[in-house]
Amino acid sequence: MKKIHYFLFMTIIVSLMILGLIIPLRPDYSDTEKRELAKFPAFSVSGLLDGSYFTDIQTWYTDTYPLREPLIAGGNTIKRLYGLHDNEIHGDVAKEADEIPDEDTGEAKIIEAPIIEEIPEEEEQEVSDETEEPEAGADGTVHVEPEAAGTVYIANKSGYEMYYFAKENADYYASMINTVRSKLPSDVTVYDLLVPTSFGIMLDDEIQNSLGGSNQKQAMDYIYGKLNSDVKQVNCFDILRRHNGEYIYFRTDHHWTALGAYYAYFQFCKEKGIKPHDITEYETKDYEGFLGTFYAASNKSKELSDPDTLKVYIPMGTNTMHHISAEGEELDWPIVCDVNNYSAGNKYSCFINGDNPYSQIHNPEIHDGSSCVVIKESFGNAFVPFLVDNYEYVYVIDHRYYKGSVSSLIEEKGIKDVIFVNHLAFTKGFINNMLGLF
């Protein structure tokens, strides 16, 4: 029996070794983690001498091992056999949040340029009573305390991303918005829409505090309090909190759903003084089988293995856009596209075909010359389709990839509205990207 066990064990080990050496089977991209996997290192004498060449080979071998993702999921399943897990930990808590100042610290400074012109006061407009905010359903606040997971927390089969307030970043963001406002002509209106994450909207305030997280409403109020008075603030926190009993955030992913983005659009229209379209006016479609970033970051936790469904709302005037991909390819593409055949981790790309440097949309049903440019990261993707039926032209810039000048684009296209859409957990690198576009 010992010999048989030895033979079986060695057979498995050798088989796995041979599998790992079959180069054609090695993946080069992870759909779940949305990243390029490690490349086989180029040989160098210095790398050979200091040992880094062999370390890089080891990294490549493990990162691109055939069937890597199923093996990770299998390992996670085995770990669950250790006991019951209503809440899970994935990662380490390594941050401490800054205290959010209570006092009014005044407007943030201009980073590069003084204000060029005084912006005239606009007449306050009200949204037509014909379109009222949809009635909120039952309170969906989660009162179950999840366990710390670094950036991902799991409770009630939903993932949450921890939010830590960073005063330096908050001040710098406000300064960036004020600086952009100062550089643009007086007839261009700047809107700032900060997107709270599900951590701030769905979890009980006491639970957030007990986990060491920051209150996102207080953080947003602090940032908005530092913006110049001529910047339009689109504060969507309260409307999202009122509707947190609805499906406004994904369970397996950090993004909001199209319904969550709609409530932010409703708030934007209120701030702009235009009539939003009623949610019932849109044609809808459902795309099932979405497993997002929380699922990947949790090593495919069984608690997050029940896929999300994307319920999308198709623009009425047109569902066609023109965009330039990260590779420089120009394409015509649906604004909201069918992702039934996409992999489980890529289905959020149904909104404006994911993150592309530049996109433009022309609505042939509108003839008033109205235009806006949306400066965004991935949270803006689900928001853009709702703007299509309020503007003749919508231009979309992903500040992480666009290399042109937004100031020149505004002048060339005669754009009158500049809309920043960014989630609240921004970094200084993101802020510099946006500032560099002006």
Q: pLDDT per residue over 27-76, tens digit each?
A: 777 666 566 777 888 888 888 888 888 888 888 888 787 776 677 666 65
Identify each DSSP E strand in 239-364 by its residue range. 283-290, 308-314, 320-324, 330-334, 358-362
104 contact partners, CB below 8 Å, separation of at least 6 = 225
- pLDDT at position 151 is 65
CA distance 328 to 322: 12
What one-letter code names the amino acid at 77?
A: T
From the list 252, 171, 154, 156, the residue with the least C-alpha distance to 211 is: 154
| Structural domain for 322, as ranges | 88-436
pLDDT over 90 (residue 119): no
Q: pLDDT per residue over 361-392, tens digit each?
A: 999 999 999 999 999 999 999 999 999 999 99
Total tally of structural domains belonging to the chain: 1
Q: What is the DSSP letter of 351?
A: B
Give the residue with greater pLDDT, 123 vs 219: 219
Q: pLDDT per residue over 312-358, tens digit each?
A: 999 999 999 999 887 888 999 999 999 999 999 999 999 999 999 99
- pLDDT at position 297 is 83
pLDDT over 70 (residue 6): yes
- pLDDT at position 121 is 41
Mean pLDDT of 394-413: 95
Give the residue with greater pLDDT, 395 vs 110: 395
Asked which of 153-157, 174-178, 368-372, 416-420 is least confident by mean pLDDT, the reply is 153-157
> Do 374 and 384 meet the contact criterion of CB atoms below 8 Å apart?
yes
| Residue 53 belongs to some domain of the structure | no
From the list 298, 278, 263, 42, the residue with the least C-alpha distance to 137 is: 263
- pLDDT at position 427 is 87
CA distance 265 to 271: 10
The 10 Å CB-count burial string (b at 16+, else e) for 76-114 is beeeeeeeeeeebbbeebeeebeebeeeeeeebebeeee
| Residue 254 belongs to some domain of the structure | yes
pLDDT over 80 (residue 144): no
429 contact partners, CB below 8 Å, separation of at least 6 = none
> What is the model's pTM?
0.78
pLDDT over 90 (residue 123): no
Return the sign of the alpha-carbon dihedral for residues 379, 381, 386, 389: positive
| Residue 63 belongs to some domain of the structure | no
| Residue 420 belongs to some domain of the structure | yes
pLDDT band at 139 (very low <50, low <70, confident <90, very high): confident
Length of the chain: 438
Q: pLDDT per residue over 179-193, tens digit each?
A: 999 999 999 999 999
| Residue 69 belongs to some domain of the structure | no
CA distance 230 to 178: 9
CA distance 198 to 241: 10
| Residue 18 belongs to some domain of the structure | no
pLDDT over 90, % of the chain: 56
| Residue 364 belongs to some domain of the structure | yes
- pLDDT at position 76 is 59
123 contact partners, CB below 8 Å, separation of at least 6 = none
Q: pLDDT per residue over 223-279, tens digit each?
A: 999 999 999 999 999 999 999 999 999 999 999 999 999 999 999 999 999 999 999
| Residue 82 belongs to some domain of the structure | no
